[in-house]
Structure 1
Amino acid sequence: MIGSEQITGLILAGGRAQRMGGIDKGLIPFHKKPLIEATIQRLKTQVGSILINANRNITKYAVYGYPVIMDETPDFSGPLAGFLMGLKNCKTPYLLTTPCDSPLFPKDLGAKLANELEHNNLDLAYASSKEADGKVWAQPVFCLMRANLQDSLSSFLSKGDLKIDRWFKELKSGTVIFDDAQAFANANTPEELQSLEAAS
């Protein structure tokens, strides 16, 4: 069984947040504290250690006492660039990724993904959410992967491809469906942030 101490958590805070007017999403107030604090609180009980992937405001993120790692590419290459830095700095057998702007993600995210990965001997397991109408949506930035996937991801990115789902298809991957679609809601606009505050 994969224990939480075998997992490093990676918080993705390296995006541009264009729909939020370009402000750094992890630092937006959420219940009067920076949004990333809610993510840290929810993640730290599920992992043994935490890394933060950010490309600006490094000193503000460093205040939380976790290593802050920047993308090697300076052009905001998306979540996979963050994944790669997480894998390069991961000292445990597994890496669990979550964005900084979905503060209500499941408290059993790590445990359920670990169970799926182990049970089916996968390289990577990611979350999916089920809407009220029964529709299932992939939530690929919430995933647990083996830490030995660095070469696979480096090779994929070297081809210039940045699509998460295409990389997943090259791996032995599977998904866990969570019934609470709201758990993966993220704050792309100020209005969405307000509704997340109301839901929490």
Structure 2
Amino acid sequence: MTALTGVILAGGQGRRMGGEDKGLLLLQGEPLYQHVLRRFRPQVNIVLISANRNIDRYQLSGCQVVSDSLPDYPGPLAGMLSGLRHSPSEWVAFCACDTPWIPDDFVARLWQSKADAPAVWVKSSLRDHPALALVNRSLADALEAWLLSGERRLMQFLRESGGHAVTFPDPESAFRNINTPDDLRDEEIPS
């Protein structure tokens, strides 16, 4: 693999969490994004965190924090755009801050299956997970134009850009995300 930048997407409004910053919610006594960082960091050369609030708290991780360049929280694509614009490498791996059980090799598997595609994302047995993706920095201008036109559909952008899904045989729980306060209760981190 070539040098890769990783971006943890933590810039949302946390609507389903009552407006709380989802990445900072505690799972087994530790902020959710820290669980992601622990699994993600060994898979890439550098990690950036895309966040739009609580910047100082995310900076405690030692990672550079980048914010959306577009106003009004336009969704994960805005975090991806910011990650692509700040990446020192040509390829950028993305992971949502609410997916603490990602496989330890998900980035390598995306890389091995990308062929000539400028973008690939995880597809589990039940659904696509477009926020778990590997994207070439060359898509940044097209992504910005997509967002400025009012579009917000992540997977449609990736598909229309020539990307494809990569099927992962892992248990569905590996890609489960924490969306509500109930999801945080009594969770066990798989080994």
TM range (shorter): over 0.9
CA contact (8 A) 1:26 1:35 kept: yes
Which string of whole-angstrom CA distances, capped at 9 and with x for unpartnered residues, describes residues 84-105 of structure 1?
0001000112000001111001
Q: Runs of at least 4 residues of structure 1 off by over 2 A?
A: 194-200
Aligned to 1:122: 117
In the aligned structure 1, how far is the partner of 2:32 from the partner of 2:172? 19
Aligned to 1:13: 10
In the aligned structure 2, how far is the partner of 1:162 from the partner of 1:145? 17
Aligned to 1:194: 185
Aligned to 1:176: 166
CA contact (8 A) 1:10 1:98 kept: yes
**Is 2:64 the counterpart of 1:73?**
no
In the aligned structure 1, how far is the partner of 2:35 from the partner of 2:94? 15
**Is 2:104 the counterpart of 1:107?**
yes
Q: 1:23 to 1:107 in 2, by over 3 A?
A: same
Aligned to 2:53: 56
Letter in 2 for 1:16: Q
The structural deviation recorded for 1:57 is 0.4
Aligned to 1:133: none
In the aligned structure 2, how far is the partner of 1:181 from the partner of 1:9? 22
Specify the SS of the correspondent of 1:172. coil
Of 151, 158, 164, which residue of structure 1 is paired with 2:154? 164
Aligned to 2:133: 143
Task: Give the alignment's TM-score, normalised by structure 1.
Answer: 0.91
Task: Give the alignment's TM-score, normalised by structure 2.
Answer: 0.95
Q: Gaps (5+ residues) in structure 1?
A: 131-135
Q: Gaps (5+ residues) in structure 2?
A: none
Number of positions where the alignment pairs a residue of Structure 1 with one of Structure 2: 190
How many percent identity over aligned positions? Answer: 36
**Root mean square deviation, CA, Å:** 1.3
